[in-house]
Amino acid sequence: MKQLFWLVSVALGFVVAPSGWGAIFDLRGTDALAALDNESTGVLTVDGVTATFNAIVESSSGNMNQTGSGFGINAALPGDETALLDGDAGLESISVSFSVPVQLVAVTVSSFGGDDRGALMSTAGSDLIASTGTTVPSFGASFISSFSLGFVANPSNSTLGNGFSFDSFEVQAIPEPGVATLGGMGALALLRRWRVDV
């Protein structure tokens, strides 16, 4: 009876699973190091979601850079914080576009100081990021095809600050209908087989 209960639970889980899966893009991790480090554009795939990254510097070119202390843009000018998104050589930002519509459910940054400010932008809305840690975007329930995170001037302070590290983000994608349906059918087939065998 316990087995039957377990199998029914699995089958129902596949059939009624409400909201896709989460994919965490760890920009401080080894996959990102291989795909994005020292590139102005790069592609990273996590759990079936492919993200294309572009490094943008307001007035000059730059490359994405991962070091032991952060992930940001190397603006290739003297004095730039090479592993942070900052404003020393023009306002730096990273845009991310996706192969499938996603919900952006979390963005994590670090190395924030009091003068640092980040702007999270999408077609569905925008948020100001003002401290180290994880931000849940105000537009996290909306499906988007891209977003960007960039350094912006602090409106209450004329100094730019030294920037912040773009550590990671998490998205939720809609599962392809065929995958969920096949999973549910497979579990139901297992259940039917188990009942016949008894």
In angstroms, what is the minimal distance from the CB of 122 to Ca ion? Answer: 22
Rounded CA separation 86/57 (Å): 9
Single-letter amino acid code for the residue at 15: V
Q: Which is nearer to Ca ion, 111 or 122 (CB)?
A: 111
Which two structure tokens, joined as six digits, stand for 161? 């600050």
Residues in the chain: 198
Q: Which is nearer to Ca ion, 36 or 173 (CB)?
A: 36
In angstroms, what is the minimal distance from the CB of 156 to Ca ion? Answer: 16
In angstroms, what is the minimal distance from the CB of 51 to Ca ion? Answer: 19
Q: Which is nearer to Ca ion, 48 or 113 (CB)?
A: 113
Which two structure tokens, joined as six digits, stand for 16? 């009624």
Single-letter amino acid code for the residue at 123: T
φ/ψ of 16, rounded to 5, equals: -105, 5
Ranked by CB distance to Ca ion, the top (closest) residue is 113
Q: Which is nearer to Ca ion, 99 or 134 (CB)?
A: 134
Q: Which is nearer to Ca ion, 113 or 186 (CB)?
A: 113
129 torsion bin: left (phi>0), alpha (psi -120 to 50), beta (else)? beta
Which two structure tokens, joined as six digits, stand for 24? 């965490």
Half-sphere exposure of 107 (CA within 13 A, CB side): 28
Summarize as ranges the residues that interact with Ca ion (CB under 5 A).
37, 65-66, 72-73, 80-81, 86, 111, 113, 116, 162
In angstroms, what is the minimal distance from the CB of 44 to Ca ion? Answer: 15
In angstroms, what is the minimal distance from the CB of 178 to Ca ion? Answer: 39
